[in-house]
Chains A and B, each alone.
Chain A
Amino acid sequence: MVQQAIELRNVSKKRRNRMIGPLNLNLPQGYITALVGQNGSGKSTLLHMLMQLSFPEVGEIRWFEEAHGKEMPLSLRQTIAHVPENSQSEENLWTAEEAAEFRRQWYPAWDQKYFEELLGKFEVPQGARLGKMSKGERRKFEIAAALAARPKLLLLDEPSSGLDPFAWKILIEALRKYMDETNATVLICTHIIEEVRRLADYIVLMHHGQLLGMAEKDSLFGSWNEVWVNAADEEELQELAAELPDALNFTWEPSGMVSFITQKFHQNEKRIQQLGVKVIKSRALELDEILSLWTQGHHPILIDQKRGD
């Protein structure tokens, strides 16, 4: 049985003028889950609650199958690392080395050699105060320090913001290698779709303080298609639309073709042709398009790809 790293049961929290939750979510251990959603959808609040930097008013959070009311034990805290959206100003006057010295007293599994290796790879300036670093440089330090703690649960809040493409690649590689070695659990908030493509096993979508759902990434593959057909007239188009009740965005193109988007296109293709409508072309929607449809309320029919049929 898969062990859950995190469970949220009916978790709610009031945030200024809006409500977050009720949230119900299970994060399986050993996987990378991408938490995706627009600005202000509540992603960071969720991460804060997992760190007990803030607390839900209602509901229960469980870490590795155990709840810890108002204070999680130190032994658990030492296995969780967090790269927050904004770095802690308390460390501004320290250099990377000094901050590491402080942090490793809290993290018994701290791997100094690994930390230095990551700083070297990221080319974090030595001897510079963290507060004086550029956003990207500071970010690199934060990521290196989070990984060096060898956490079982790693919470990343937009880790790549401010990173140049070279550093971004190093980050992806480092996370992959870390997962290979430790089978840790990672929850990553991100707006970068390429990051989701390259890293995520599961995708959780959040919108206006609600969780819209969780999907295995590959079950979204090919879930929506854009299709171009030749339709004789409006009447034939209406007939087609009636046959495909879930299809959206029927549009007459200047070329005289009709385009629309639909789920389960490959199952429906024959039916479309039986109506006498000629399919000219189709393309699978990209992940970002699928997520944006989902945000608009069009939940994808997940492709069960366990067996090839």
Chain B
Amino acid sequence: MWIPIQINENSAEPLYHQIETQLRSLIISGGITEGTLLPSIREFAGDLKCSVITVRRVYQDLENEGLLRTRQGTGTFVSHVGEGAMEEYKLEAVIKALESAVDVGLSVQCSAEELTRIFTDIVKSKYNKQG
């Protein structure tokens, strides 16, 4: 099974963290559904061109968070994701995206008023389209 994870080589974020964050969001957002068997550690490492040490770390962390579980001899599966986690994740993802948008605004010296107006306009145009 191929898991859509994209590694950004120019990012300051460590490799291990990039993989973990993306895999976590794929699970919580339902991109990978409950009960899915994930690739073996060796296979996943090969796909991502990283070491098994990194993948093992990621699987262990997500297992500790309750998102994955490992069955001896069979492999690592996606576990049940609670409603609370889903809501929390949604909020977190949106906040993160907005923060980086605001950072861009700051870097081009956009004023707060200007930024708010742009934001409101975008929300209006997108949500009306969905209408």
Contact = CB atoms under 8 A, between A and B. Distances in A.
A284 B2 CA distance: 26
A197 B49 contact: yes
Interface string B15-30: 1110010000000000
**Which DSSP category, helix, strand, loop or mixed, fits chain A's interface?**
mixed
A282 interface: yes
Interface in A60-101: none
A43 to B, nearest CB: 20
Interface in A166-200: 172, 176, 179-180, 197-200
A198 B14 contact: no
A162 B122 CA distance: 57
Interface stretch (B52-60, B78-86, B92-100, B110-118): B52-60
Interface stretch (A150-158, A217-225, A250-258): A217-225
B74 interface: no
B15 A199 contact: no
Interface string A258-286: 00000000100000000000000011100
Contacts of B52: 31, 201
A284 B9 contact: yes
A200 B45 CA distance: 9
B90 interface: no
**Which DSSP category, helix, strand, loop or mixed, fits chain B's interface?**
helix
Interface residues of A, number: 24
Contacts of A115: none
Contact of B15 (A200, A283, A305): A305
A228 interface: no
A31 B9 CA distance: 24
A221 B16 CA distance: 10
B13 interface: yes
B51 interface: yes
A225 to B, nearest CB: 8
A217 B9 contact: no
Contacts of B53: 31, 201, 216, 218
Given A198-B49, A218-B50, 10 more contacts: A172-B46, A180-B42, A202-B51, A216-B53, A218-B51, A222-B11, A222-B15, A282-B10, A303-B14, A305-B54
Interface of A: 31, 172, 176, 179-180, 197-202, 216-218, 221-222, 266, 282-284, 303, 305-306, 308
